[in-house]
Amino acid sequence: MSMRENRIRCALITMAPFPKGNVSTIRFSSYLRLVAEAGADVHIFIVSPTKMAAVNHSVEGVHDNMHYKYMTRITWRNNANPNIVVKLAYYVCGIFKSMHYLRKYKINCIILYHQDTFAYLAYWLFCKIFAVAYLTDKSELPYGYYKMSSMRQKFHRWQLKVFDGFIVMTKALEKFYAGVKAKSATTFFLPMTINQDRYMNVRKCIPEHKYIAVVFGTHNRDGLYESLVTYNHYRKLVGEGEAYRLVLIGDYDKLPVRKELDAYIEENGLADFVDIRGLLPIDEVPQILFNASCLLTTPNEYVSGGFPTKLGEYMLSGVPIVATAAGEIPMYLEHGVHVLMAKPKDYQTLAEYIYQLQSDPIMAENLAANARDLVSTVFNADTYVESLIEYMGNMIGRKRQGEWL
């Protein structure tokens, strides 16, 4: 199917803020903007208000050739903590309103970037009635999947059979979703991709104190405690020498282990050396990473099956990285070539690697350059967009031929 014969008219359904957003926004916009550049009609429908969307001001517009529209309102504004009934009303209203626009714009391919039973089934019915290809982008397993009862796991697997296709981020996810999908459904492997223009407007500044930067999420899977322990070992290694500071970027106040982190900082005398920046607008993060002397990530494992989007941002920054060999990271990055990498919880080795980068700027520069070269190919959506467009086109064609009807 050529674009001319059967134009792709795609809509991504999400609750992630757009165009300024979070890691989810980075994920889907990195490839959809290229799909749009190739001539497809691409729409982003945000079905419900969120606090994170407050940085956006227009309910609709065009960004990087992608048309976006908030179905109700952008954020809660005056009512910062609406009750569950209000949230549910906006959510349901947003879903049904999005269906109006799906018909208006003659959408022939839906990508659901959201995890919810009602949404799964509502859009499945829509796609069934109007012969629309129904895809989902999965960058993780169902939340908390391995902690669920066997009955809940079975229910989640049943839900996933409504999709015609899965766009998946890792090989572990590809294996999982290939095992639960409907027989006629297919998967498309699309690794973590990062917008290569993320650092276009940053500038090099000389900070008052050189620092290590750490970006973390709210589910405690990024190993922030391990980063603090590593930093403490590093400071002891430096001794009387000049040690880097530690800058933490993320929603620290909402971390489930915040009390433990606070206690560790206090007990080890780190309060004057750890700068907790908190949750920042995502467009401000590249500037902080770009001016760091080292970037650190210390997860123990990725039980979600995902791959850290922040690692792509790290690599694109041109700043040397110290990381743990967790999840599928060693499949793509080579120790001593792209990063310095140690086993999870090997605090002393991680600390020694940071000190090694500080002591050997030439090695640090070479590692950073190699990582940047790698991200420009392996983690660049340009590498995969032609195949992705073909995949989407095939899904649309199969649906129109009634293969799933």
In this structure, are 251 and 352 located in the same domain?
Answer: yes
Percentage of the chain modeled with pLDDT above 70: 96
Q: What is the pLDDT of residue 362?
A: 98
In this structure, are 87 and 117 located in the same domain?
Answer: yes
205-221 pLDDT, tens digit each: 999 999 999 999 876 56
**pLDDT averaged over every residue in the chain:** 93
Residue 3 confidence (pLDDT) above 50: no
The burial class, CB within 10 Å (0-12 / 13-18 / 19+), for 267 is: exposed
Q: What is the pLDDT of residue 40?
A: 97
In this structure, are 390 and 356 located in the same domain?
Answer: no
pTM: 0.89
Is 313 within 8 Å of 346 (Cβ atoms)?
no
In this structure, are 247 and 321 located in the same domain?
Answer: yes
In this structure, are 72 and 133 located in the same domain?
Answer: yes
Q: Give just the sign of the alpha carbon dihedral 18, 19, 21, 26.
A: positive
CATH number of the CATH domain containing 114: 3.40.50.2000
275-321 pLDDT, tens digit each: 999 988 888 999 999 999 999 999 998 877 778 889 999 999 999 99
Q: What is the pLDDT of residue 2?
A: 44
Residue 256 lies in a domain: yes
In this structure, are 26 and 168 located in the same domain?
Answer: yes
Residue 111 domain boundaries: 9-193+381-400
219-263 pLDDT, tens digit each: 656 799 999 999 999 999 999 899 999 999 998 998 989 999 999
Residue 110 lies in a domain: yes
Residue 206 lies in a domain: no
352-389 pLDDT, tens digit each: 999 999 999 999 999 999 999 999 999 999 999 999 99
In this structure, are 387 and 355 located in the same domain?
Answer: no
Q: Give just the sign of the alpha carbon dihedral 201, 296, 222, 275.
A: negative
In this structure, are 294 and 242 located in the same domain?
Answer: yes
Residue 119 lies in a domain: yes
In this structure, are 181 and 233 located in the same domain?
Answer: no
Query: Using 50, 70 and 90 to split pLDDT, how confident is the model at 77?
Result: low
Residue 198 lies in a domain: no
Number of structural domains (the chain) is: 2
In this structure, are 238 and 348 located in the same domain?
Answer: yes
Tell me whether strands 60-63 and 66-70 are parallel, antiparallel or unpaired. antiparallel
In this structure, are 128 and 223 located in the same domain?
Answer: no
